Structure 1
């Protein structure tokens, strides 16, 4: 739960800042309203809280002569210099400079910021100008003043807005039906190849990365250093091979980690961006089991946005080179060999049109956008997920709101062993709600029927003309703590492709046969000699179950 926070004055929007040398020719402002407390970093990861600082902001060149900063125990006189914009006041400036790009102003005897809470007061010529109060400071997080109080975010975390592009022709695909497209996208890179993932164990992907590096492509890889279950020996061998081929491999890890998990799954190959729901492992790139969604787009704003995200995530304090990360470290044995089953191609990859595309990133902006998208659906919502975090999860609440307004809602969850029981319980509850309130909503657990092994997709189709594809799971940890990436694509062409996939997965493994073929099939069966075949027919609209009931 977020700490209770209060700021006594309304703060203006934070701006970029520069530290202006005293006497640089600018005329200092004298209005008290031009200077305010804009935030604090009270609880650094470093031992002894070394590097803590207070954020001061000015509207323009301002002299700090006559200004003081106090907590409950001491008062520090600000240095007599002219500053402008946003700056960090610190008693340990050398340490602070290592953790923030904000210009640092040293204080000879600054406040000692208590982790449990503090009230900071800014004075000018003995008069109180501003106060800032916080309680229970989270470790490694910066409190930033907003109009509603203080917002805590890990130091160095990004705050990207939604990036919107024009769309155009996109390459839509699903797995396990089109296993070649993700790897082929990597193989076609000529200048740059950036690959971001949660894990990376696919030899086919590693082959593509090494081959690209050998032909002179700039190749970089970013993965999570602490995936659930630990980093395996199989992945360590893959990363060792990449490092030996001079591929830049960065691992996000350590106490200074900005995100709980780096769970994003995307690649930038020259002017193409590939975003998928799947990990870079055999089941996610080789057609070996998982039902996943993916798309390749060429919109320059989306491609650049993903490249910027990669750079920001790779260059943080929590980014560790693989060669250094692996030193003296033991890795987990894999529980089982990679899946090697094969599945039919029912939905080949297609080039379809997107009228518009939005790049969403968590925790920056994805939750707000998805809640708005789903909650405002007017006609239909199709949800295909591994699982849902609970009955009160915001995405699910938005889905229920859409159903209560009359949108036809279908929720399809995975039958994978690790989520089966919880999914069955949630499906039963959703269908009870639908029955009790007479809602146009139905939910079920998927029946792959041999077309794939399990659902790993995190997909949503809204009103038949918007589709969400990416790594964002329907739980609060994914939306608020992880680095996730998703594309929201608009247009009947692109949304129609995934809606067709959803419909087939919703129907399950049982054949759907047009009524007009029944007689022909019956005659063929009657004249067949020595051949027995069991055929099951069922309605397209309700595949063999009562409305609102679990399969």
Structure 2
């Protein structure tokens, strides 16, 4: 038997003389179970970065939904050869199927990691090795020149290549698709050229591996995962079309390929990873992408110390981060860029994975493949948990986004995490103030009367001692007009279908727009928080309906022509016998409130008139006046969403969309009641 150090010596000699020996990176080795000793018969350049482009047959699959089906069938369908390189092997069903394949004449070769992180991984992997060896299967321990052989790939009949993020374990390949085990992703390439490439790598690794020898007192294999409550919504999908497939391996080309992929992003990056560490240089590429405006979403497990710190850095630099929930563990190593290129592999985001381990996977440019995995990612993202309690390095503290600045207002910014040489405050692109060596909360009084009322853009820039300036922007409102004129103007609390038919109407009687992000409608029990970008234009109306479809159908049934609702009501459910609705700004200041029946709001007189029926609503008239007495401010009438009436003088009726004018006599001389309609 040729010993490992002898093989390494042969490898060195072959490299010295390789200039004289023509070799093919796709050269087929016909009997991997008898790894050749002759360097001329192997492909020393198997891991050169190569892209296979053209019409390709690719199958996408995920765990736990369908991985066992795919993996089991890959063994059952093998006719000639089955070559597996994997970190751990602990699934009895898969071990049994490998033994059956050997029994029907398939050349089965298994390479297992020479070292593993935990003793229990040693126990069950060694037990699997004993069973395979007893069945006549060639088993090898991979070279200790790798810290770990963490790869998970296999080649069938020199035609099919599988790359996967999970080990051959019940947690990664459960027998039941309903088992709440690991989230994993995998790819199957049905292509002889691609298979020859991966087989070349498998053979190269085999040349420096060690044949199995007897193990004393191994442990047991893991118990199967045969049941669960996971809905397993995903099936395998096969796509035949143009694709670009680039094999990726650590330590050979993984950093270069992933770094280049991240740097190429122009619109989006999605990452679903087991973990991220500060020593992983690709993390810097992700941060750079977020800072240049690429939308970055990172999905990682509930953090340990390393993840928690990385999470804060990612959030502070503009990436979105969520913590994986719903399944047992996020064991994935998934990257997607610009919705068209994905990476599926065994590569965790640590320096060790990129530089010291044997890892394997593939980078695939294919819109179909990318769409399949994005659907899985979006599902996991929707079920994930948003982190709380992480401080932004630079932030506008007051006013908050959507907040109100008035009179001489103290604009406050926070400078945290780093040390800073300067901080700057801008309003509408003009520099207002510069702080020197800002630390913590810094403020500056701004005379807002020098600005027009309405929406303004505020920017804060912090320049750290080390690194690029950090910039945050916000939209805020400057309002110095004495009378408040953004008011609740109509409420339907008694609907045919309750609460689905309920709605609330707002009217902006100001002659300027108001930014409403972070504003809230609430009835004390429930609330609706207005989303990013929400605003109401001058002299316009917004409608909030519990169910937008039922709201419209009920208005139609009443013979009312109603506009579509702009937003919903969140979990607000209005009580017929008494309730209240308040409009609050981001500083939690109540700007308007309405109460009826048994409802009450401090400083507001509750409506004590007759309760409305299903064909009536409370309506503010006129819509631009508020006395804080609902008996004075409101009437009961047929629902009329999207239409309000305001008083004006006869000489001030220039609103071009009014349908008609009604004279009202006896209110401070002569006034006109003007109809305003939602635009």
Same fold (TM over 0.5): yes
2:101 paired residue number: 212
Alpha-carbon RMSD across the aligned residues, in angstroms, is 3.8
2:324 paired residue number: 446
In structure 1, the gaps of 5 or more residues are 1-43, 61-83, 86-99, 104-155, 435-440, 511-518, 525-535, 545-551
Correspondence 1:174 to 2:62: yes
Correspondence 1:424 to 2:308: yes
TM-score (norm 2): 0.49
Aligned counterpart for 2:250 among listed residues 354, 362, 365: 362
2:368 paired residue number: 493
> How far apart are the structure 2 equivalents of 1:267 and 1:541?
47
Note the 1:182-331 alignment, pairs <5 A.
Answer: 182-230=71-119, 231-253=121-143, 257-270=144-157, 271-286=159-174, 287=177, 288=179, 289-316=181-208, 319-322=209-212, 324=213, 326-327=214-215, 329-331=216-218
Question: How many residues of Structure 1 are paired with residues of Structure 2 in the alignment?
Answer: 371
In structure 2, the gaps of 5 or more residues are 22-36, 386-495, 502-526, 534-569, 571-679
> How far apart are the structure 2 equivalents of 1:468 and 1:214?
35
Residue pair 2:287, 2:317 contacting (<8 A) in 1 also: no
User: How far apart are 1:310 and its partner, in Å?
Assistant: 0.9
Q: From the superposition, tell whether residues 54 and 468 of structure 1 become closer, same or farther in structure 2 (CA, over 3 Å).
A: closer
What SS class does the counterpart of residue 210 from structure 1 fall into?
helix
> How far apart are the structure 2 equivalents of 1:333 and 1:203?
10
TM-score (norm 1): 0.60
> How far apart are the structure 1 equivalents of 2:289 and 2:94?
40
> How far apart are the structure 2 equivalents of 1:295 and 1:489?
9
Farther-moved stretch of structure 1 (284-293 vs 339-348): 339-348
> How far apart are the structure 2 equivalents of 1:509 and 1:310?
37
Note the 1:345-424 alignment, pairs <5 A.
Answer: 345-353=232-240, 355-390=243-278, 393-415=280-302, 420-424=304-308
Q: From the superposition, tell whether residues 220 and 405 of structure 1 become closer, same or farther in structure 2 (CA, over 3 Å).
A: same
User: How far apart are 1:313 and its partner, in Å?
Assistant: 0.7
Correspondence 1:503 to 2:382: no
Residue pair 1:195, 1:267 contacting (<8 A) in 2 also: yes
Farther-moved stretch of structure 1 (206-215 vs 236-245): 236-245
Aligned counterpart for 2:352 among listed residues 477, 490, 505: 477
> How far apart are the structure 2 equivalents of 1:501 and 1:538?
28
Residue pair 2:274, 2:348 contacting (<8 A) in 1 also: yes
User: How far apart are 1:460 and its partner, in Å?
Assistant: 0.3
User: How far apart are 1:55 and its partner, in Å?
Assistant: 11
CA deviation digits over 1:200-220, x for unaligned, max 9?
111121122111111111111
> How far apart are the structure 2 equivalents of 1:541 and 1:170?
39
Residue pair 1:165, 1:300 contacting (<8 A) in 2 also: no
> How far apart are the structure 2 equivalents of 1:539 and 1:299?
51
> How far apart are the structure 2 equivalents of 1:395 and 1:493?
26
> How far apart are the structure 2 equivalents of 1:56 and 1:283?
41
User: How far apart are 1:330 and its partner, in Å?
Assistant: 4.6
What SS class does the counterpart of residue 51 from structure 2 fall into?
strand
More strand, by proportion? 2
> How far apart are the structure 2 equivalents of 1:59 and 1:196?
27
> How far apart are the structure 2 equivalents of 1:163 and 1:473?
22
Residue pair 2:277, 2:310 contacting (<8 A) in 1 also: no
User: How far apart are 1:384 and its partner, in Å?
Assistant: 0.6
2:50 paired residue number: 163
Q: From the superposition, tell whether residues 53 and 243 of structure 1 become closer, same or farther in structure 2 (CA, over 3 Å).
A: closer
Note the 1:147-158 alignment, pairs <5 A.
Answer: none
> How far apart are the structure 1 equivalents of 2:257 and 2:245?
13
Residue pair 1:159, 1:364 contacting (<8 A) in 2 also: no
> How far apart are the structure 2 equivalents of 1:538 and 1:250?
60
CA deviation digits over 1:415-442, x for unaligned, max 9?
3xxx5343233212211222xxxxxx21
> How far apart are the structure 2 equivalents of 1:346 and 1:372?
33
